[in-house]
Structure 1
Amino acid sequence: MEPTALSLVPPILALAMVILTRRVLLSLGLGIVVGALMINDYAVLASLSQIGHIVLNIFYVDGGLNDWELYIIFFLFLLGMMAALISLSGGSKAFGAWAMERVKTRVGAQLTTVVMGIIIFIDDYFNSLAVGQISRPLTDRHRVSRAKLAYLIDSTAAPICILAPVSSWGAYIITIIGGILAAHSVVQYEALQAFMMMIPMNFYALFAILLIFAVALFSLDIGAMKQHETRAIEKGELIDPNKGDVPGEQSDLPASEKGRVRDLIWPIGALVVGTVFFMIYTGIKRSEGDVSLLSIFENTDVAAALVSGGLIGLIVAVVLNVTKQISVRLIGSGLWAGIKSMLPAVYILIFAWTIIEIIGELGTGTYLAGLVDAHLSISLLPALLFITAGIMAFSTGTSWGTFGIMLPIAGEIAVVTDVSMLLPSLAAVLAGSVFGDHCSPISDTTILSSTGAGSHHIDHVITQLPYALIVAGIAVVGYLVLGFTGSTFFGLLSALAAFGVAVFILKQTTVKTVRT
């Protein structure tokens, strides 16, 4: 169907329902049904058939298994089982006690999580889940709410990945940039060089990371986050007890009294080493011609590497449990508990993937991209592209899909109007895509961050939203100055000034809240 403003109805309806009802599956399901009805001229049977076909394609497509989605689901189950066995062996308990002796404060626990999120920059999925598993025992001991942990994880994962050229994100983006430069005969810089030059222009990613440090250091807890943190500190309730279990929880499993820190470190270490190894291995295997570090990450199979690393981590966790003479029956119970703990996340992912396909059929992204008018002032272009990309990623739940649509459009507009605005325009699209992805409850990275943290998904969305909007405001200031001056330095400087003002206001607000 021809993309129109009506294509915005299903995603907006789903997002509004999520906020109003706090019931994610119901809200996504309503958006899916309404979107399918619109596509099929409100024919009920045809709509149901299309939904069934989309769901089937998640598992089986083109005569074979759908590797990507199935591998991600399989990895979640592997991670759940591994986490359960780590808990069963007493590893989580032992690590929490060990960390408490060395990290004495809540601020230290939060900063440790942020630093680990920055160090693990290879892939955002891997970052969200691995950092969550490592950090959770530490932040739990210091009564940091799970919603806060999810924010710390999510706001380091994508921002650091999009700034790192040697990452799954960096390789993908550099490939697109290379195509844009070649298509428009831009020869003054190579794709990798252009990517590196765009890093200081990616205002959202840079200041999202800086704001996390400020939030952790100064306890800048606002809105719903304040409620979660207050409940955690005063009552020791890390999640809202009225909302039931969350993904990744195995609270009913006994913990061995023989647990050691290595019972957590070895499985997680095996997961990390195994995943990185298979990312490099699959990247080398699929590269053609000269193999470089960039070509490896451009061609790597992230999903397959995650599953391979997850299997290795799980095997190590099983062996450690066996050495502690934990019964086969109890290990089996742990494995099943790990699978069940991940079912809520899997359900949400399936619904999110389905509505993303529906939105793609409606042409929501194409319609939003068409709103960018080349006849507007070129000075406003970076800010407008940032906002448009943000709305698109928010509505479609995919930053990578937004990259694929918006980067070529931004490149075309900049080359036709003023080629000096090419890199700022591309950087604005990258930044806006991450911003929209951070705000969207149907984003897979948002879902996986809440899963890794053991937070209710909707709590993560609601608590992260104010911080994402603050950083977006800072980024808009930077892009306006960059657009009108053409100077990356002045754009970055103005964004830094806006960041300082925002942190000052947040500090004053939180101080007043505490006093009252």
Structure 2
Amino acid sequence: MTVLSYADSALSLLPPVVAILLAIFTRRVLLSLGLGILIGALLLNQWSVLDTGVYLGQRVLSLVWDDGAFNAWNLYILGFLVLLGMITALITVSGSARAFANWARQHIRNRRDAKLLTMFLGCAVFIDDYFNSLVVGSIARPLTDRYYISRSKLAYLLDSTAAPVCVISPVSSWGAYIIALIGGILTAHGFTETGHLSAFVQMIPMNFYALFALALLLCVAYMELDIGAMRKHELNARKGNLYDETKGLPPGANADLPEAETGQVHGLFLPIGVLVVATFYFMVSSGADALAAESLPFTIIGAFEKTDVGSSLFFGASIGLVVTLLLAFIQKIEAKMILKALTSGARSMLPAIYILMFAWTIAGIIGSLETGKFMASLASGNIPFALLPAVLFILAGLTAFSTGTSWGTFGIMLPIAADMAMGSHSSMMLPMLAAVLSGAVFGDHCSPISDTTILSSTGAGCHHIDHVLTQLPYAVLVAVISLGGYIVLGFTESVWLGLASSCVLFLLGLVWLKWQQPKNTNA
């Protein structure tokens, strides 16, 4: 069976475009992803139905069994989802979630404070985007539900403090990965005087999308700047409809679970706190073991670069579940209630697992089609140097949007950006690399097939496409602000003038958002 490559063909865009457009217009995610997968498999196998069937069987099997061994990364992530669903359901059954909501009502004054606290938690839990979205969602959901904040708004809060925070934090799985990538690129091009960590830190103010996504989120949370579909969801939430009930239960939601009357606030914070500490420990420990195996000295950044995120999340969640069970036994929760919580919690994660597995499958097919390479090749034409940062931002965004992966986009686009910089103005190396990082996060934010987007909606207990459509206007606004900054940066070769111009555009954007608000909106 011969599998074709479409690295030089626009046909490589067909599967992601079909999947994304169908998901947006039909709002049936699995059907849309399934058709995208089928079209991609047919393309790879020259439209042979038999070969396509065999190929799809192998591709699906590879999600759990690959190269003669279990696919540990996928299984650990799926296991983490199931365990976190169990932990969340147990916390609900113990009454601790309700106790936290009642406590918050006495200490959190209004909807605005609830959103700001959620944003603060999202920025504080920065070690990994998956971890951020799911764990902060578990903590914040009882609080935002209490103040009738829509699940779509919660998903936006989670998603916009996951990747944007991780991509500018050196002590995170993202930061370590990026430092390793740019370190190799800088060394290959003779930039030996600039330390890899130092280069990463210098790029933070150049990462316009991440910075202004966080800034806009703060303003939206504080000023109630709701537009488009988000306003509709927020108005429905004020009436008690936190999510669209006509679509059924969203992933991660638990309905009709009994709640004990003896729940206490520590029943929520202790298991989640243990989960956070245990996961951080396993991330550092697995990274340290990898460093030792290569006879490399231990550093925190080095450990995060070598860490095994999947196993760390799984083992951290396992310990968190044990602590949650112990608290339930101490609280004398009935065994049948505990069993119901465990089964209901695991079952609540099945929709997210299905979507994630479909997304992984189409991502693998898109990788075989080499869609990312085709997108990257579009930057190789006769483009004026002054426009290169802006063009790289756009292409990285389109690549991440089409492939559903910012990490994959980093791997493809960063070396190309470096080669372009060396072929013109080497002094623009870091700004052009930062433009790629920025664009990749933007595309990842907008893509319905992005795993981070999927898990943010899961953490919020929100229907996936509702999250995509409500977040999209904000993401596009920040992209326009960032694009303006990169255009100015390209023409002036000044990061600070680029940043200043983005600040001006940001203020204009806030004025526009404020103008869109009805006169009777209250915080």
TM range (shorter): over 0.9
2:461 to 449, 454, 457: 454
Q: Distance in 2 between matches of 1:212 and 1:420?
A: 32
Write out aligned runs for 1:104-253 (5 A): 104-233=109-238, 235-253=239-257
Residue number in structure 2 paired with 1:313: 320
Q: Do the aligned partners of 1:274 and 1:312 also contact (CA within 8 Å) in 2?
A: yes
Residue number in structure 2 paired with 1:492: 499
Structure 1 residue identity aligned to 2:41: A
Write out aligned runs for 1:5-20 (5 A): 5-20=10-25
CA drift of 1:330 comes to 2.0
User: Is 2:331 the partner of 1:324?
Assistant: yes
Q: Deviations over 1:324-369 (max 9, x none)?
A: 2222222111100011000000000000000001111111111000
User: Is 2:262 the partner of 1:258?
Assistant: yes
Structure 1 residue identity aligned to 2:208: F
Q: Distance in 2 between matches of 1:511 and 1:244?
A: 30
- Following TM superposition, the consecutive aligned residue runs of length 4 or more in structure 1 with deviations greater than 3 angstroms are 511-515
Structure 1 residue identity aligned to 2:341: G
Q: Deviations over 1:168-192 (max 9, x none)?
A: 1011001011111111112341211
State the superposition RMSD in angstroms. 1.1
CA drift of 1:514 comes to 5.3
CA drift of 1:376 comes to 1.2
Q: Distance in 2 between matches of 1:155 and 1:374?
A: 33
Secondary structure class of the residue paired with 1:511: coil
CA drift of 1:374 comes to 5.3
Secondary structure class of the residue paired with 1:372: helix
Q: Do the aligned partners of 1:393 and 1:402 also contact (CA within 8 Å) in 2?
A: yes
Distance 1:512 1:362, change over 3 A: farther
1:393 to 395, 400, 422: 400
Of residues 346-355 and 505-514 in structure 1, the stretch that sits farther from structure 2 once superposed is 505-514
Q: Distance in 2 between matches of 1:195 and 1:273?
A: 26
Write out aligned runs for 1:39-78 (5 A): 39-78=44-83
Q: Distance in 1 between matches of 2:174 and 2:431?
A: 18
Residue number in structure 2 paired with 1:81: 86
Q: Do the aligned partners of 1:279 and 1:305 also contact (CA within 8 Å) in 2?
A: yes
Q: Do the aligned partners of 1:374 and 1:413 also contact (CA within 8 Å) in 2?
A: no
Structure 1 residue identity aligned to 2:131: F
TM-score normalised by length of structure 1:
0.98
TM-score normalised by length of structure 2:
0.97
Q: Deviations over 1:239-276 (max 9, x none)?
A: 01111001122221100000000111111111111111
Residue number in structure 2 paired with 1:35: 40
Q: Do the aligned partners of 1:11 and 1:396 also contact (CA within 8 Å) in 2?
A: yes
Q: Distance in 2 between matches of 1:129 and 1:364?
A: 29
Residue number in structure 2 paired with 1:336: 343
Q: Do the aligned partners of 2:397 and 2:444 also contact (CA within 8 Å) in 1?
A: yes
Distance 1:331 1:514, change over 3 A: closer
User: Is 2:435 the partner of 1:428?
Assistant: yes
Of residues 248-257 and 459-468 in structure 1, the stretch that sits farther from structure 2 once superposed is 248-257
Q: Do the aligned partners of 2:158 and 2:456 also contact (CA within 8 Å) in 1?
A: yes
Q: Deviations over 1:6-43 (max 9, x none)?
A: 11111001111001100000000000001111111111
Secondary structure class of the residue paired with 2:262: coil
CA drift of 1:297 comes to 0.7
Of residues 26-35 and 504-513 in structure 1, the stretch that sits farther from structure 2 once superposed is 504-513
CA drift of 1:420 comes to 1.1
Q: Distance in 1 between matches of 2:519 and 2:381?
A: 46
Secondary structure class of the residue paired with 1:246: coil
Q: Distance in 1 between matches of 2:209 and 2:288?
A: 32
Q: Distance in 2 between matches of 1:415 and 1:269?
A: 46
Q: Do the aligned partners of 1:397 and 1:441 also contact (CA within 8 Å) in 2?
A: yes
User: Is 2:282 the partner of 1:278?
Assistant: yes
2:297 to 290, 309, 318: 290
Q: Distance in 1 between matches of 2:363 and 2:189?
A: 31
Q: Distance in 1 between matches of 2:209 and 2:450?
A: 17
Of residues 49-58 and 424-433 in structure 1, the stretch that sits farther from structure 2 once superposed is 49-58
CA drift of 1:322 comes to 1.1
CA drift of 1:63 comes to 1.1
Residue number in structure 2 paired with 1:373: 380
Q: Which runs of 5+ in 2 are unaligned?
A: none
Of residues 440-449 and 245-254 in structure 1, the stretch that sits farther from structure 2 once superposed is 245-254
CA drift of 1:421 comes to 1.3
Of residues 367-376 and 85-94 in structure 1, the stretch that sits farther from structure 2 once superposed is 367-376
Q: Deviations over 1:472-511 (max 9, x none)?
A: 0000000001111111111110000100000011001113
Q: Distance in 2 between matches of 1:272 and 1:373?
A: 44
Q: Deviations over 1:433-464 (max 9, x none)?
A: 00000000110000000000110111000100
Q: Do the aligned partners of 2:258 and 2:337 also contact (CA within 8 Å) in 1?
A: no
Q: Deviations over 1:289-308 (max 9, x none)?
A: 21111111111111111111
Q: Distance in 2 between matches of 1:470 and 1:298?
A: 32
Determine what percentage of the aligned residue pairs are the same residue: 55
Q: Deviations over 1:394-413 (max 9, x none)?
A: 00000000000000010011
Q: Distance in 2 between matches of 1:215 and 1:143?
A: 16
